[in-house]
Structure 1
Amino acid sequence: MIARMWRGWAPLDKAQDYQRHYESEVAAQLTLGHGFRGARLLRHRDGDEIQFTSIAFFTSMQAVRVFAGKHPERAVVDDLARELLSHWDAEVTHHEVVADF
């Protein structure tokens, strides 16, 4: 299994809106692809912002490409997310899951 990790930061007054966006729009896009195995959105106060960490799980890098396209190392950040976030990682990291409890 592959864990796709990404971070984005939102101002305090937009953090709840971004969280709702992730739970609805991003979740809908993730679940379209065969090989998607779930996701987690982590939230952490970082000064005057909220740092979000997204961890999405896929069966393989081929399944990641169904979601992310030809360049899976690039972050997928849609227009609404760009309006709600102050900044984000342009690239994601992929990790092999070696233990899952």
Structure 2
Amino acid sequence: MIARVWRGITPKEKADDFIAYFNQTGLADYGKTPGNRGTTILRRDQGEHCEIMLVSLWDSMDAVRAFAGESPDHSVYYPEDEHYLLQMEPLVRHYEVAQQISPGADAPKR
């Protein structure tokens, strides 16, 4: 499984609106893409700014490419993103999920 991590910075007063906009655009497209296993949206207020981090899970890099295209390391942006974001980061990061632990599960033994 692959974790795709994207980060953006918004003015604090636009953060809620950006998350709502993302739900209508990116999250909707994630959900329509075979191989998407869900997304976690993280938010961190920092004074006047808000950092938003998206962690989406995918079956494989092929599934990521089905969403992002042939250059899966490039961020995917939507027409109104520039209205919310202070900077448009060009790249995302991908990680192989080494382990996923469910609540109540025993911790791995060393």
The answer, yes or no, to whether TM exceeds 0.5 is yes
Q: Deviations over 1:56-99 (max 9, x none)?
A: 10000000001000100000011111211111421000000011
TM (norm. structure 1) is 0.94
Q: Find the counterpart in structure 2 of residue 81 from structure 1.
A: 81
- Asked whether the 8 Å contact 2:12–2:48 carries over to 1, the reply is yes
- Say which is worse superposed, 80-89 or 46-55, in terms of deviation: 80-89
Instruction: Tell me the C-alpha RMSD between the 2 structures.
Output: 1.0
Q: List 4+ stretches of structure 1 deviating above 2 A.
A: none
* Aligned positions of 1:1-101 closer than 5 A: 1-101=1-101
Q: Find the counterpart in structure 1 of residue 108 from structure 2.
A: none
- Asked whether the 8 Å contact 1:43–1:53 carries over to 2, the reply is yes
What are structure 1's unaligned runs of at least 5 residues?
none
Residues paired across the two proteins, number: 101
SS at match of 1:21: helix
Matches of 1:29 and 1:44 in 2, distance apart?
A: 24
Q: Deviations over 1:13-72 (max 9, x none)?
A: 211110101222211111111100000110001231000001010000000001000100
- Asked whether the 8 Å contact 1:7–1:88 carries over to 2, the reply is no
- Asked whether the 8 Å contact 1:73–1:92 carries over to 2, the reply is yes
TM (norm. structure 2) is 0.87
Larger Rg: 2
Identity of aligned residues (%): 33
